[in-house]
Structure 1
């Protein structure tokens, strides 16, 4: 299973939140990454995320996309099922695994819910709850 940001999402990934501009990390997470990651868990296959070929990234894009992934599935599952491919900018892989994932695991443990542009902007998404995948619109008190 593979996601290529370039071919499956956008040549020019944008900011953190949908309301800040197009091709945001929040949009990528909710439109592509969440369901593909859930599929990887169901099929017990690694999900390869290819970062190469784009115009570049803002760190906030990855913080939002990967952060939500950790919040919804745990750092253990992300480390088990996510493989990052980045031959052009290996620094992104390092940032994701050494910084973003551990920071968001702390947030997940503290139940520091990620902000959403709007409760109505996203279709139901997956979250791992007590070892089971559940899909719904998860209510958040933090709306930006």
Structure 2
């Protein structure tokens, strides 16, 4: 299973909450990432393509999309990192992969009840 963020979600992912726009981290997490993770079969991984048509990511997008999975209690950090495989062709995107891993590892499992932000 695969999610190509630039091709399937937005070439301009930005913002933390729905209220920040349609391409927010919350929108990506709730509408793309979580549904894909929940469909995985045992032993399967979700490949996430970071760099197809995308110039950059903001920290608010990445922390909400990926760290939010842990923070809101969907998956703990170890489980999430075992379920995803982050890929890119442009080596500059190694920085964003590292940021995702950091946000996931720094998030405290189930520390905040999820309440959808306003759109």
SS in 1 for 2:109: helix
Q: Distance in 2 between matches of 1:115 and 1:62?
A: 18
Query: Tell me, what secondary structure is at the counterpart of 1:14?
Result: coil
Q: Is the 8 A contact 2:75 2:109 kept in 1?
A: no
Q: Distance in 1 between matches of 2:113 and 2:62?
A: 17
CA deviations over 1:106-126 (Å, ceiling 9, x no partner): x215x33355304xx7xxxxx
1:21 aligns with 2:1: no
- Alignment root-mean-square deviation, CA: 1.7
Indicate conservation of the 8 Å contact 1:18/1:117, yes or no. yes
Larger strand fraction of residues: 1
Structure 1: runs of 5 or more not aligned:
122-144
Whole-angstrom distance in 2 between the partners of 1:33 and 1:65:
8
Calculate the TM-score normalised by the size of structure 1: 0.71
Cα distance, 1:8 vs. partner?
1.0
Size of the aligned set, in residue pairs, is: 114
Matches within 5 A, 1:24-39: 24-39=24-39
Q: Within the alignment, does 1:102 sit opposite 2:105 as a pair?
A: yes
Is the radius of gyration larger for structure 1 or structure 2? 1
Matches within 5 A, 1:41-80: 42-53=41-52, 54-70=54-70, 71-80=73-82
Q: Which residue of 1 aligns with 2:89?
A: 87
Structure 2 spans left out of the alignment, 5+ residues: none
Say whether the 8 Å CA contact 2:77–2:109 is kept in structure 1: no
